[in-house]
A and B are shown apart, each in its own frame.
Chain A
């Protein structure tokens, strides 16, 4: 990638943000009411998801399943309602429309109705425990603040967003190929990151220890401001998962991050040299780079990176070659909020919420097309309401969303995530039912 292209990226970003955030924040309470009330939020599909096929007529359906799920609402002024539960899809929809929460969090399915947990707590046998929850991941761009120079805090732009794209690619592939999961939903968190919901039955039933194990499997980053190297790659080879991930990382590192973050510019190259274990190599590079500002056609970051790789690869010490990998990992490898993934009873914001600070809808991201996802161009509340009002779409009905910019994300949610998920739920249900019938037949034989 040339400098010219990198510059273009920045221009795009300016054009892409026609809605100043302040305007989005105006009248949020009224607008969110319209969003829930006028068929923009996909109430029915969300409930279909949460029911996992238990809302059908099949004798194996667990009619209590839907009602044992915990929801939490955050209302205006940070009023927080935990342990809400609803017996049916209609009850849930009504509650959302009545309360108009600024944020909806989804919790686990408990052993008993979470609204009645106090009644069970009297018995003292700890009957009230979480029994199922999607395996979730939360990745937040602000955890990358030490390796991105374009934005700080909760801001995000097209220069740093590729870090999220990398995270989606690395984790999505591992969840499917390594762990064998199929029903995975990636969602934009509305401001500065992404959420991942793994919904296979097997994933929902993992205990805390198993959840931790998956999260730890993904962990490479050892955030510590006192050590120069922020990842620890030990052993004489990399685990196959890391080898595969490294191919993604180095591609993005060289094509995007290196130039967009100007990682080897004069002000920044020292922090990378710090990560080279061989002092003589580091000072040789420093010597080459100091005061060297020749205006080459090639981007200086690319030139310097090639020099660094060449020097580190030239020496025969394997530790030195590992340095190149460690640099790439440090600057690009996904940084997961471990606590969110480790515990079954951790809540996570529901897809299709609207972020009250940005007005952006938490829309699903198709991992196969995640390169194309642009966080600055997702549907916003004001845009959606404008679309309804100008489109002459006053008629109420299930399909209103289809004629707005919610159409694409909701269609993706239904067709690529929900339908295949419900199909496997149904198959599993029938399989377990048939097994049970078979078993009882056998035992009748006695």
Chain B
């Protein structure tokens, strides 16, 4: 992919009169000339949009709220002083971020998900002519339903619309597609199906255009990755590569743009503070949750109350757990089966006790079973696993031996204290008695360090 040199605009570009670009399929890489500073600036602007979407999804916003959010985000970040350049900015920023996010499975997955969401909401906001031209461009075979056929099927079509609580169909907004193209609509019986064809109303078109967009982008990202590793990274090592690599970490790394209130953490900080200030037991639960998108009850209690203790508010806690669990059990089941216990922990359900986070003693004495991840790693991990976990945390090999020695002699809290000291290069005379104490001591030290270096 040649980013910096040359030619025509992507064919599907559609620019609306208000100067906000509407809808691109990004089928081919742009061949525009891009100034180096635009390359980076456009990408950062788009990144702000995608991160806003990610945040909205994590908070469980409803479709109409998301539609508004996406429109606001686009207005805030994707405008350009010259109306003619809006579309170019959209295309350029998309392709730059492809480079940034093609480079690992995890990055690709995130980018794919956010770009598809962005596309979905933009698609909803454009008119039907655009829909049809996009269907043609995506190569989705569809037939227009003739007036006669519409009359013949009118009763059936009306029944479907009423059964799905949708507006009654009109003769000029109806298309026939192979039922395989619209699995989502078939599964929910939102379409009339006859002889293998689904009769799709225009407002349902989005449900099959988005999967096409997504699968195309998914394949393109894999190809981009191949080109990146085989050519571009080396060719551009003095110019684009540093920008691309920095863009990726600027997202993943800490964000100190806002002053943090004392005793509060918010969702976007959680990855960063987990790495620096969570004790091993909580890091383990956090990582397990991120990997498995699930924790059993003991783990949810131990980790959930800890998060409450470090200042995660109820709304954020719900969003945080939902973002993970819904990937495994679906949002609906999360709302039904798990949300209650989180509100319960915050004293909002049941007997309304405000539960306190577990102390080390309680955690050490717990008895995790098969599939459980809670408990105290210094006690419940095998020695190999403990070594590996400590190594991953960044404990030096000399300190690691001391920690293992303490754990072996069943001084679990001392082992944790030694880990804390090794990681923070600072003593902890009081010893670690509570995971939340570990956290607050750690934050205190890190803040002092920051101040002295600033």
Contact = CB atoms under 8 A, between A and B. Distances in A.
Given A179-B193, A202-B196, A206-B180, A213 B163 contact: no
A214 B187 CA distance: 6
Contacts of B109: none
Interface stretch (B95-103, B154-162, B242-250, B271-279): B154-162
A216 B188 contact: yes
B187 A217 contact: yes
Contacts of A216: 186-188
A243 B189 CA distance: 13
Contacts, number: 65
B187 A213 contact: yes
Contacts of A391: none
Interface in A177-195: 177-181
A241 interface: yes
Majority-rule SS of A interface residues: helix
B258 interface: no
A210 interface: yes
Contact of B195 (A180, A209, A212, A238): A180
Given A216-B186, A217-B186, A235-B165, A180 B180 contact: no
Contacts of B163: 234-239, 242
A130 B196 CA distance: 23
A153 interface: no
B337 to A, nearest CB: 13
Interface residues of B, number: 22
B2 to A, nearest CB: 27
B183 interface: yes
Contacts of B187: 212-213, 216-217
A209 B207 CA distance: 14
A236 B162 contact: yes
B156 A240 contact: yes
A237 B195 CA distance: 22
Nearest to A213: B183
A67 to B, nearest CB: 27
Contact of B162 (A177, A179, A237): A237
Contacts of B119: none
Q: Please tell me the size bucket of the interface on A.
A: 20 to 34
A238 B180 contact: no
Interface in B166-196: 179-180, 183-184, 186-189, 192-196
B416 to A, nearest CB: 39
A235 B188 CA distance: 12
B197 A180 contact: yes
B183 A241 contact: no
Interface in A289-304: none
B252 interface: no
B446 interface: no
Interface centre among B160, B162, B193 (most CB of A within 10 A): B193
Interface in B257-286: none
Interface in A203-253: 206, 209-210, 212-214, 216-217, 234-243
28 contacts: A177-B194, A178-B193, A179-B193, A180-B195, A202-B196, A210-B179, A210-B183, A213-B184, A214-B186, A217-B186, A217-B187, A217-B189, A217-B193, A234-B163, A235-B162, A235-B163, A235-B165, A236-B162, A236-B163, A236-B165, A237-B158, A237-B162, A238-B163, A239-B159, A240-B192, A241-B189, A241-B193, A242-B189
Interface of A: 177-181, 202, 206, 209-210, 212-214, 216-217, 234-243
Interface of B: 156, 158-160, 162-165, 179-180, 183-184, 186-189, 192-197
Given A180-B195, A181-B196, A239-B164, 20 more contacts: A179-B179, A180-B194, A180-B196, A180-B197, A206-B180, A212-B183, A213-B179, A214-B186, A216-B187, A217-B189, A235-B163, A236-B163, A237-B163, A239-B160, A239-B189, A240-B156, A240-B159, A240-B160, A241-B193, A242-B163
